[in-house]
Amino acid sequence: MHDKVIARLRRQIAAVLILKHALLWLAAWAFMWGTFVIVWRVATGVAAAELWLGLAAAPLLTIFAAGLALRGVPSRARLRAVVDGASGCGGLLMAAAETPLGPWRKSLPDPARLQVTWRGGQAWLAFLAGIAFLLVALLFPQSLVTLAGAAPLDITQETQQLAAQLDVLKQEAVLDPQRADFLKDRLKQLKEDASGTSPVKTLEALDHLRDIATKAAKQAAEAAVAKTEKLGQAEGLAEGIRKNDGELEPKLQKQAMAALAALVQQAAGETDLVNQHLDPELLKRLQGARLTAEQLQKLAEALKASKLDLTKMVEKLRAAKLIDIELLFKCNAAGACDCDGMLAKATGKTKSTKGGRGGVTEGGGSSPITWSHDTKEDSTKFKEETLPPGALAKLRESTLVGVGQANPDGDKQRDPSQGGALTKAPAGGGSANAQTILPRHQPTVERFFARPKTKQD
Amino acid sequence: MQNHQPADTLLQPDQLKPAVALAQQLLGQLDRLLLGQADLHRLVLVGIMSRGHVLLEGVPGVGKTALVKGLAQLLGLDFKRVQFTPDLMPSDILGTHILQESANGSREMSFRSGPIFTNILLADEINRASPKTQSALLEAMQERCVTLLGTTRPLPGPFFVLASQNPIELEGTYPLPEAQLDRFLFKLNVPGAEVEVLDRIIATRRRGEPPAPTWRMSAAELDQLFAAMERIFLPRPVARYIARLVAATHPPAKEAPEPVKKYVAYGASPRAAIALAEACRGQALLAGRPTAGFDDVKTVAAPVLNHRLILNYKARLDQVTAAALVSKLLASLDETGLNLPEDVTLTEAKA
């Protein structure tokens, strides 16, 4: 009977130890495997079904844990000693394993009812926590994993804007269609490859494409300004000749026509003037031949139409935010028609004594100042400038150390006076001294420089 | 030297009963002679049956000498008493050679045996004698023989030294060296008498003299008792427990508890393990069992180990005694060495 009790006790201890070891080992494995699953899913962005195969390790691990546990099960001799002590056998039960008890067997007391008590709360808690962690790792939605991981960089808005700009450049023949398509393909690829893990590269590439577009647009706009100027000159001359038809000497008329022909020829070579607006016959007649007033008017209209086309192109570039509004204004100003001035320049004479042509060889001589139009207000208005990136960054990083009552030191802010009265002045006027003032002073200075309104305004 | 054969078969009940009866009768007589010291008498008897020497420590007048005298009377053994004084010489205990003139007129050295040549030697106030005299007992206690001038003379068998010492009068005393303390199987504390016991003593005994014993053990009966002791079985797990217990008294041991590591300088020797094994057999015999169990070891552990632990200065500073350390050791050491995890225990199921 005692042997049965000992055997049963041993089995119970073995079962408890196996369960304890299995729970702890499975808990450890669940945490490890769960961590691996999470890292795998975040890194690859794939919730592979193969990750569930890790569960197949559970039975193997249980067997391993059972093997370890069985090594800790006490021997029969030790359990016999426990039963001997608990039952009050006084060593008889232990002696029974080494020597026959003989008549003493009858005096062996009944074995004590021993049971194995295991405070397994912590082991169960660890196991359940491990399983819960593993299940969460396996079942967590992949979209949320990806969102939390390597999210793509959203540059849709920027790419759409840039694509529209490239379309405009393509339509206005600023960029070759092939070049424009190539850049659009690159933009598309950039959008697909944009990733939250390396935004710098993506944004740098985007900036590079944007620079290409804006540079091309700026070059086109500046070329348009130059062409518009020439067209304006040709138009002015044509109008001047037409207005003074019959009043000019034949020699001067011829001279003027030759100058007109040269200007128109040049313009025809640079723009689509001939193709779109000017009759080729008219151009032929222009070469050295006299044109009638009607023909001169047609010519002027064609030149004006070409000027308008260029202005429209520049307006489109401006609307696509490829160029500043300044260039648009420049273009508009460049096309201003100065009929009398151009005629005078072409013939070397004017209707009245109006001074010399100027220049190195023909300069000098007093000549009255020719006013063709009032100085435009635009140049005196405050030019809004965007701060250069360096200054802006400096401003952002700067800290306010105090606020003073005194005005800012004007000397530091004063830009040096430019050489030449009107160097870098915009077309139609400008100021030699560019003074940077604070925004709060703008209204005051504007009022100071405000022109009284004239009857014409 | 006796040929001790291990007990590979248990004592039969009919063989054990008479020995138990003898022991119980002896105990009964001792309790009758000396009142109020039943536990002490039990342990002293265990010591005697284990063929060990016993050191009795107690204040004067508690009956140490009376106990030893009574025991000697009951056992029917020769008894001699030596009062240890500071001027006691080894020859006063062991004996000496004296020059004697024989009948034919020649002179020769003859050996005059000392009081040690007896069955029970009462070494009264053993700590009063000088270390030289104390060390004279070393060979006798261990080897049960005396060597003088190259001649080894065996002591009569059985031979016991029952010593006494006074724990309060320490002036002019010489504490026993560890080597000698280790030779005592037990060191027993003889407590004072309680009120009821004192009342009975005063009421029933004039001048505190104990009554004469009504029974004495014969030599044959004593041999029977010793023979039964030889057959008491010590199971291997119990022997293992004794070994682990003695090993755990040493601070570097794996199973030594924290107090032992902190307060013990030197632990018990292998002689302590042998003493424990013998003493637990005696305890089992007294309990009427043919085998010794874990409880028997625990009963005799304190008397065996208390005087064998050498404590360090920290123990003196913290006033920790060897008895307290032995108690903690017994409480902390698992008898069976199951080595189950802390959260797995064996408990008795409720009915």
SS (H, E, C) chain B: CCCCCCCCCCCCHHHHHHHHHHHHHHHHHHHHHCCCCHHHHHHHHHHHHCCCEEEEECCCCCCHHHHHHHHHHHHCCCEEEEECCCCCCHHHHHEEEEEEECCCCCEEEEEEECCCCCCEEEEECHHHCCHHHHCHHHHHHHHCEEEECCEEEECCCCCEEEEEECCCCCCCCCCCCHHHHCCEEEEEECCCCCHHHHHHHHHHCHHHCCCCCCCCCCHHHHHHHHHHHHHCECCHHHHHHHHHHHHCCCCCCCCCCHHHHHHEEECCCHHHHHHHHHHHHHHHHHCCCCECCHHHHHHHHHHHHCCCCEECHHHHHHCCCHHHHHHHHHHHCCCCCCCCCCCEEEEECCC
Report whether B94 contacts B140 (CB < 8 A).
yes
For residue A275, what is the DSSP state? I
Report whether A313 contacts A172 (CB < 8 A).
yes
Tokens of residue B138, six digits: 């070393």
Contacts of B290 in chain A (CB under 8 A): 92, 95, 104
Region for A382 from its dihedrals, namely left if φ exceeds 0, alpha if ψ lies in -120 to 50, beta otherwise: beta
Tokens of residue A117, six digits: 């008590």
Q: Which string of b and e fits B141-179 if b means at least 16 CB within 10 Å?
A: beebebebeeeeeebeebbbbbbbbbeeeeeebbebeee
Tokens of residue B106, six digits: 């020649």
Contacts of A98 in chain B (CB under 8 A): 233, 235-236
For residue A107, what is the DSSP state? G
According to the model, what pLDDT value does residue A11 have?
93
Tell me the per-residue pLDDT of B233-269, one tens digit each, with 9 for 90 and over: 999 999 999 999 999 999 999 999 999 999 999 999 9
Least confident of A374-388, A395-409, B52-66: A374-388
Question: Is A13–B340 a contact, with Cβ atoms under 8 angstroms apart?
Answer: yes
**Residue of chain B whose alpha carbon sits nearest to that of A15:** B344
Instruction: Report d(CA A115, CA B155) in Å as an integer.
Output: 55
According to the model, what pLDDT value does residue A29 have?
93
Contacts of A97 in chain B (CB under 8 A): 235
Find which of B17, B297, B344 to mutate to test the A interface (most A CBs within 10 Å of its CB).
Answer: B344
Contacts of A17 in chain B (CB under 8 A): 341, 344
What's phi and psi for B167, nearest 5 deg? -85, -5
- Closest Cα in chain A, distance from residue B301 (Å): 16
Of the candidates B289, B336, B346, which has its C-beta nearest A116's C-beta?
Answer: B346
Of the candidates A72, A82, A123, which has its C-beta nearest B336's C-beta?
Answer: A82
Question: Is A117–B344 a contact, with Cβ atoms under 8 angstroms apart?
Answer: yes
Is the per-residue pLDDT at A428 higher than 70? no
Is the per-residue pLDDT at A72 higher than 60? yes
Find which of A10, A20, A99, A118 to mutate to test the B interface (most B CBs within 10 Å of its CB).
Answer: A99
CB burial of residue B86 (10 Å; 0-12, 13-18, 19+): exposed
Q: Which distant-in-sequence residues (6+ apart) come within 8 Å of A146 by Cβ?
A: A45
According to the model, what pLDDT value does residue B63 have?
85
Comparing A348 with B99, the larger pLDDT belongs to: B99
According to the model, what pLDDT value does residue A362 have?
54
Instruction: Report d(CA B249, CA B326) in Å as an integer.
Output: 8
Instruction: Determine the Cα angle at A94 with ends A91 and A95, to 5°.
Output: 85
Comparing A230 with A268, the larger pLDDT belongs to: A230
- The whole-number average pLDDT for the span A253-261 is 81
Instruction: Report d(CA A92, CA A116) in Å as an integer.
Output: 23
Question: Any CB–CB contact under 8 A between A437 and chain B?
Answer: no
According to the model, what pLDDT value does residue B9 have?
81
* Pairing, β B107-113 against β B344-348: unpaired
Q: What ipTM describes this predicted complex? A: 0.81
Residue type, A218: K
Query: Which DSSP string do the residues of A407-455 spell out, in sequence order?
Result: PP-HHHHBPPPPSSTTTTPPTT---S--B---GGGHHHHHHHHPPPPPS
Least confident of A354-368, B161-175, B180-194: A354-368
- Closest Cα in chain B, distance from residue A52 (Å): 33
Instruction: Report d(CA A427, CA A323) in Å as an integer.
Output: 18
According to the model, what pLDDT value does residue A393 have?
67
Find which of A70, A98, A110 to mutate to test the B interface (most B CBs within 10 Å of its CB).
Answer: A98
Contacts of A24 in chain B (CB under 8 A): none
Report whether B238 contacts B292 (CB < 8 A).
yes
Report whether A314 contacts A328 (CB < 8 A).
yes
According to the model, what pLDDT value does residue A388 have?
66
Report whether B206 contacts B72 (CB < 8 A).
no
Least confident of A313-317, A331-335, A427-431: A427-431
- Closest Cα in chain A, distance from residue B347 (Å): 5
Q: Where are the alpha helices (DSSP H) in A194-292?
A: 199-243, 250-270, 280-286
Tell me the per-residue pLDDT of B76-116, one tens digit each, with 9 for 90 and over: 899 999 999 989 999 999 988 888 888 888 888 888 889 99
Instruction: Report d(CA A388, CA A390) in Å as an integer.
Output: 5
Q: Binning pLDDT at 50, 70 and 90, where does residue A352 land?
A: very low
Is the per-residue pLDDT at A412 higher than 60? no
Report whether B303 contacts B177 (CB < 8 A).
no
Question: Is A99–B237 a contact, with Cβ atoms under 8 angstroms apart?
Answer: no
Is the per-residue pLDDT at B287 higher than 90? yes
Asked whether the whole model's pTM tops 0.80, one would answer no
- The whole-number average pLDDT for the span B156-179 is 84
Is the per-residue pLDDT at B323 higher than 70? yes
Of the candidates A85, A99, A118, which has its C-beta nearest B8's C-beta?
Answer: A99
Instruction: Report d(CA A202, CA A194) in Å as an integer.
Output: 6
Tokens of residue A255, six digits: 């001279």
Is the per-residue pLDDT at A429 higher than 80? no
- The whole-number average pLDDT for the span B201-225 is 84
According to the model, what pLDDT value does residue B184 have?
93
The alpha carbon of residue A35 and the mean position of all alpha carbons in its chain are separated, in whole angstroms, by 35
Tokens of residue B309, six digits: 């632990």
Instruction: Report d(CA A203, CA A196) in Å as an integer.
Output: 11
For residue A274, what is the DSSP state? I
- Quote the mean pLDDT of chain A: 78
Contacts of B293 in chain A (CB under 8 A): 84-85, 89-92, 94
Of the candidates A9, A86, A98, which has its C-beta nearest B235's C-beta?
Answer: A98
Contacts of A86 in chain B (CB under 8 A): 346, 348
Q: Which distant-in-sequence residues (6+ apart) come within 8 Å of B211 by Cβ?
A: B32, B33, B205
- The whole-number average pLDDT for the span B34-40 is 88
Q: Which distant-in-sequence residues (6+ apart) come within 8 Å of A47 by Cβ?
A: A41, A142, A145
For residue A273, what is the DSSP state? I
Tokens of residue A209, six digits: 């494409």
Question: Any CB–CB contact under 8 A between A112 and chain B?
Answer: yes
CB burial of residue B304 (10 Å; 0-12, 13-18, 19+): buried
Of the candidates A80, A114, A119, which has its C-beta nearest B348's C-beta?
Answer: A114
Q: Binning pLDDT at 50, 70 and 90, where does residue A289 land?
A: low
According to the model, what pLDDT value does residue B169 have?
67
Instruction: Report d(CA A91, CA A232) in Å as an integer.
Output: 128
Is the per-residue pLDDT at A184 higher than 60? yes
Q: Which domains does chain B have, with CATH numbers?
A: 7-88+115-208+217-231 (3.40.50.300), 233-337 (1.10.8.80)
To 10 degrees, what angle do helices A2-44 and A76-87 make? 120
- The whole-number average pLDDT for the span A233-239 is 84
According to the model, what pLDDT value does residue B4 have?
41
Task: Report the percent of chain A where pLDDT is more than 90.
Answer: 19
Q: Binning pLDDT at 50, 70 and 90, where does residue A80 land?
A: very high
According to the model, what pLDDT value does residue A348 have?
66
Instruction: Report d(CA A166, CA A171) in Å as an integer.
Output: 8
According to the model, what pLDDT value does residue A445 have?
78
User: Can you give the residue ranges of every domain in chain A?
Assistant: 2-148, 154-363, 422-451
Of the candidates A85, A89, A101, which has its C-beta nearest B335's C-beta?
Answer: A85
**β-strand partners of B184:** B53
To 10 degrees, what angle do helices A57-71 and A2-44 make? 140
Find which of A2, A70, A73, A82 to mutate to test the B interface (most B CBs within 10 Å of its CB).
Answer: A82
**β-strand partners of A191:** none
According to the model, what pLDDT value does residue B5 have?
41
Question: Any CB–CB contact under 8 A between B345 and chain A?
Answer: yes
Instruction: Report d(CA A213, CA A222) in Å as an integer.
Output: 14
- Closest Cα in chain B, distance from residue A34 (Å): 28
Q: Binning pLDDT at 50, 70 and 90, where does residue A262 land?
A: confident
* Portion 40-99 of A in contact with B at CB < 8 A: 72, 74, 77-82, 84-86, 89-92, 94-95, 97-99
Radius of gyration, CA atoms only, chain B: 22
Report whether B95 contacts B112 (CB < 8 A).
yes
Is the per-residue pLDDT at B1 higher than 80? no
- The whole-number average pLDDT for the span A15-28 is 93
**β-strand partners of B291:** B233
Is the per-residue pLDDT at B7 higher than 70? no
Of the candidates A72, A74, A91, which has its C-beta nearest B292's C-beta?
Answer: A91
